[in-house]
Structure 1
């Protein structure tokens, strides 16, 4: 059997994840325990490994970028594919196939990938092993033309609806599989501590519980019964670990963080993913406290494999092993970088990705006796087991299902994307009931750079790595198919407007706030009853999205101020942004503010429906919205002693309904003395709160349950989310919302940074709305 090194554990983790998963245990038609997950290696895989050459094994551990086998015109270079298969036995390819503005639909993708497969399988080797192809499909199969693109992860987080995470992932899996791709690098489970970080929008927000629930739901959507269901793909939890807290706020910079913070805030989402059966994982670009994750035995062996019990396949991020030499500067040579990453950790596949230096270094290290065959066999076993599980080792299992290609972009999928956008939109401010727009409003002026542009609705990782807008600096991509499938804000307003309501658009200023025709806009605005200003960020992803100031461009702030001072009509601001940009005077100058995040190409319709009152907003902030540009690391779970002055708190979000919370009870009793006890080790018990819709408007309310421990051995957070439920409450009606509580909700990593199951005796509180219930922990 394959041996996996065991060593003394030096880290620990919060152990409430199983209870989290059981609280939301069904999605689709499967029960929680029916979803497939990685299991011990099959005997036939072990038999294959015994017969393979060392070159074939190392080839399976090698992943290269498609540009090594694509010509400049986008045609496949068959000679190159044969070269890499014959000489390096390459086991995996990745990345977008479209070139020179061409758009490739699922049939186009399948044709190219199947050609790669056929050439690879024709090469003489011990076994004809297909390659596995991977794509960053993080909000739909967005690299494949004519598929449905969904809101980004931050929108799913704002919806607080696990069903939407599940449904969007299920559709993404099917559309990805239709393209001949079996693996998606999603979901993204970093906790974006830094609000300056350009990858905030890919994630499920700053809270570990919320990220855990939504990540697990997405994994079940991507994978389902992936070992037999060929509409499913292997999911990949990323980026392990602590990637979202760069000390500078810049992408890929160092993270400086305590082990306690890693354990209590970064680990839970990944543990939930493992418990949900995630098939693969990707490590992160960064170093943590000076230790690069890609070479860390502490994080990738002791924590991930031994403590968290991850049995799936682990891949590096882009070029990360080489980065040990070129960027992290902890290895004097590339060869030493490979030794550190493979011998010291449990990495299975190197995303090399632009050469074959990994293969060459591995061969030398094996000959030198510095990497053992047992260590290589361990990784190859996991790689081949993954390929078997997704069907690649079956007869013609590498061929795309043409029937799935007929389903891409259907009306039901679009409705899921629309619903995700609708439920995510977050009403931050609504002074004097400026929204919904009243029946007296007959003429509406829409202005601003994000009001007539699909790219600003969708952000990065859409058609192109850097997104599909005219203003990004990598040049215009051919996104004609993208622009034909969606609804901009202005088109949404015009198509959703009630009879007799006129909606017009003028640009006013560009994304940097540079004046275009604002003088004309201000003059014309006097003839309108309301103005909707659509602002936000340029489109970006990863490093190109780095900024040094989280304030919105000053030009945008100035233009909104100028408009506000020049007119008395209601001014509605719509924010389209991937991270919370400090608003400055926009907060005061706007009568209402609607945060749309990055709702996808159909987001314009959802925004219009909310503005006109056809949809009641129900989104809640999945992160803390800072008031000041210096507060880039402001999170609601900060230590209770820290300074706290945000613009809007995590969980904030207004509605057109008025919800009231009453009568919180535990075991049928209201809060009373003596306090109820929560005994460590005892089963969960129910706590119930009544929520009433005291308004004439039906609405959805996300009920949040926090816990708070006023005093403990380690400075406690102000509060911590431990449960949420989104409920529909008709006008005038009351719903009972039930949560479960036990003493383990108050676990944390103790003073020695080892005991993650520390629970201190003493008084604690459960907070729901303005209601609270007092307990006493008994150990």
Structure 2
């Protein structure tokens, strides 16, 4: 699978002929006539009602209607419902809309289908580590099939925020730090959810979020301020959103943060000038949960005032807050908005319903037979296992401790080793953790001959402050009644009798996701004490990590034999991890987020810029951009990931020393599998613009190819480089390539590369 010369297609033009779900002209005209006729019959209240998205929870018997929501639906004052699914629950509300309301306008049903619906895949950060767009698209396709079978027509995904600060808990929901890779993933997810036709029964509306720059919140603190230059926005943070728009995404969600002093939900420059005028987006914009109401504490006015600001900025639908519903008519009467402002937003919501085919069949997504036969199927679980295997990243493997010998005596230790609750990670809204597979179960499933002794070793969380917060949010952690010393003593005893200890540590799933910012990224103290005690036995130790973001693992890297990063791998986590630990699958995942030595290095990312005094590594060279107590370099760089085999790269060869005009330059390497296992490798291409009108990054990912090599096999990998791959936004926001010298880097990660040079004439 080769991904080269694509970023220009994603970024460099507004209209890209391949955008999905573009209606034929005749059908577009028919839709506009239908909607104009419908809107001609609507009252002002009914038009405003289409902009209202309340949240309606439910229990096993059906929806529990929030106060007055049923009456509002009947009066045509609701455009969609958030948090209701299953055919039975959706039918109850859709019946009110299409049988009892005056104009019988159907409802949208939205839900957080983020990394699977019932079949849960790895968290998005883990999915990105597959570097496999076909698998990422497949995960979204399966999620859309299950969600649509369960009554849903809209997902609040993909989240494409570029993130360079792992203190931010929502890093788990995105694809890491790189705009090129993030753009490809955004496109793949949109295609998986929406397919090539929204009229399909298994297609749902995608919603790219959080627009924009949410991943750059100051201090890694959720909902916090964002501030950056325009050229940084356009070159580093906006590309994945634009890629989703160019792929035909149906909806966009505004972010909570402010941009240039104006919160995104009220930012007309962002939502109208950039999104619609520059990029040509024609779908609808929804606020994040109570995002309009939150403009009040931002300091922009009262609810009526901020609702006007949001509508005029370009927000079409108000999630949960009902600021539009309760204030827009008054603002219209006071001439603070016009009927054209309301009509514009209303039309966009109705267009989405039309494109889904809901006016033809309001019950399109209500089919009990599909719900009974298409959700959490054996094939879906098999695909989830396969994708999870490819998301795992081997960070260390001294003396080939892994894969485990099938005849080995294993001490399986840790609070996450025999744990289903946390396997499916955060933002697994409809997922059933009781259907997940633990690592202990997985090892017994895939390698029943292993001699396994299990010891918990420690509580997942001992810190009472953290425990109280995450249990309040549903972590369901019940502390062990044994003392920490007793738990560790059992683990050490099991280790002494074993050939190798597999210690499973990390975060609770509820320590990642929204509102879970952290100032320390170390393993929790009680877990670290357990790991130190087990390591002190002198037995080989394999550390299996489960976490929502990069952690600081300096001691662990220096002291344990092997480290396997598994993120939160989903419903089939245990089976997938067991397959990798035992060698049934050779790990091929590569990091999409840099792992720091310590939090003092954050933000840390591979595509940084040089200063005028770059550090070369000489500790005595004082007056350079460096720390005196830490290296500049990360613990594990972007693109890093080991295999049970080894790959050797030849020097880079170029087809020419210069590139001119419409020519294409070929850059090639030969990769050889020199180890004892068949395996996959992600061959990565980076380019550096040596001299520019603005400072340029030291490296930028511009292509990659994932290849499979049998042991002893070699393959030549060639990347085609054109002038389009060298373009960037200058300070005038012109998308240009500037003549001069460039370096090419090809290798196994962003650090370990072969180099070559060429000149753009």
* TM-score for both structures, normalised by structure 1: 0.86
Match of 2:596 among 600, 623, 626: 626
Q: Aligned equivalents of 1:543 and 1:270: distance in 2?
A: 20
Looking at structure 2, the residues matched to 389 and 210 of structure 1 have their Cα atoms a distance apart, in angstroms, of 29
Distance 1:76 1:525 in 2: 51
TM-aligned CA deviation for residue 415 of structure 1: 1.4
Aligned-pair distance for 1:551?
2.1
Are 1:449 and 2:431 counterparts?
Answer: no
The Cα of 1:16 is off from its aligned counterpart by 6.5
Structure-2 change in CA distance of 1:215 and 1:74 (3 Å): same
Residues in 2 aligned to 1:374 and 1:34: alpha-carbon distance in whole angstroms: 28
1:308 to 256, 279, 303: 279
Question: Match of 1:169?
Answer: 140
Q: Using a 3 Å threshold, how does the CA distance of structure 1 residues 774 and 599 change in structure 2: closer, same or farther?
A: same
Relative distance call for 1:726 and 1:16 in structure 2 (3 A) is closer
In structure 2, the residue matched to 1:776 is: 759
Counterpart of 2:394 (choices 427, 430, 442) is 427
1:590 to 560, 574, 577: 560
Residue in 2 that maps onto 1:106: none
Call closer, same or farther: CA 1:774–1:618 in 2, change over 3 Å: same
Tell me the secondary structure at the aligned position of residue 648 of structure 2.
strand
Equivalent of residue 87 in structure 2, options 110, 123, 126: 110
> Aligned with 1:421: secondary structure?
helix
1:133 aligns with 2:82: no
What is the SS of the residue equivalent to 1:176?
helix
What is the alpha-carbon distance in structure 2 between the residues aligned to residue 96 and residue 628 of structure 1? 42
Partners of 1:71 and 1:77 within 8 A in 2: no
The alpha carbon displacement at 1:721 in A equals 0.5
Alignment root-mean-square deviation, CA: 2.4
1:334 alignment counterpart: 303
Cα deviation, residue 265, structure 1: 1.1
Determine helix, strand or coil for the equivalent of 1:548: coil
Tell me the secondary structure at the aligned position of residue 212 of structure 1.
helix
Q: Is residue 2:453 matched to residue 1:486?
A: no
Contact 1:82 1:123 in 2 (8 A): no
Q: Cα gap change, 1:35/1:528 in structure 2, threshold over 3 Å: closer, same or farther?
A: same
Q: CA deviation at 1:395?
A: 3.5
Residue 383 of structure 2 aligns with which residue? 416
Contact 1:114 1:399 in 2 (8 A): no
Alignment of 1:519-598 (within 5 A): 519-540=489-510, 541-565=512-536, 567-598=537-568
1:12 maps to what in 2? none
1:461 matches 2:427 = yes
Structure 2 residue aligned with 1:36 = 21
Which residue, out of 580, 583, 605, partners 2:575?
605
- Separation (CA, whole Å) in 2 of partners of 1:386 and 1:516: 59
Partner of 1:714: 694
| Whole-Å separation in 2 of the counterparts to 1:361 and 1:640 | 51
Residues of 1 paired with 2:308 and 2:69: CA distance?
A: 27
**Post-superposition shift, 1:437?**
2.0
Q: Matched residue of 1:705: which SS?
A: strand
Asked if structure 1 preserves the Cα contact closer than 8 Å seen for 2:84 and 2:90, the reply is: no
Give yes or no for contact 1:577–1:596 (8 Å, CA) kept in 2: yes
Is 1:504 the equivalent of 2:453? yes
SS at match of 1:199: helix
Query: How many residues in Structure 1 have an aligned counterpart in Structure 2?
Result: 703
Deviates more, 1:216-225 or 1:48-57: 48-57
Aligned equivalents of 1:286, 1:577: Cα separation in 2: 25
Q: Distance in 1 between matches of 2:35 and 2:759?
A: 53
Q: How does 1:150-161 map to 2 (within 5 A)?
A: 150-161=121-132
CA deviation after TM superposition for structure 1 residue 77, in Å:
4.3
Q: How many angstroms apart in 1 are the aligned matches of 2:223 and 2:416?
A: 28
1:404 is aligned to 370
Contact 2:10 2:242 in 1 (8 A): no
* In the alignment, structure 1 residue 19 sits paired with structure 2 residue 19: no
Q: Return the alpha-carbon distance in structure 1 between the equivalents of residues 518 and 303 of structure 2.
A: 31
Closer, same or farther in 2 for the Cα pair 1:638/1:357, shift >3 Å? same
Secondary structure of the structure 2 residue equivalent to 1:415: helix
> Relative to 1, partners in 2 of residues 1:276 and 1:366: Cα closer, same or farther, differing over 3 Å?
same
Pick the aligned partner of 1:380 from 336, 342, 346: 346
The corresponding residue for 1:347 is 315
2:79 to 81, 91, 95: 91
Whether the 8 Å contact between 2:455 and 2:494 is mirrored in structure 1 is no
Task: Describe how 1:71-82 pairs up with structure 2 within 5 A.
Answer: 75-77=63-65, 80-82=68-70
Aligned to 2:743: 765
Hey, what's the Cα distance between the residues in 2 that align with 1:430 and 1:42? 61
- Residue 393 of structure 1 and its aligned partner are, at CA, apart by 0.6
Alignment check: 8 A CA contact 2:94 2:106 kept: yes
Paired with 1:502 and 1:168, the residues of 2 have a C-alpha distance of 34
Is 1:677 the equivalent of 2:659?
yes
Conserved in 1, the CA contact under 8 Å of 2:150 and 2:365?
Answer: no
Separation in structure 1 between the aligned mates of residue 236 and residue 66 of structure 2, nearest angstrom: 47
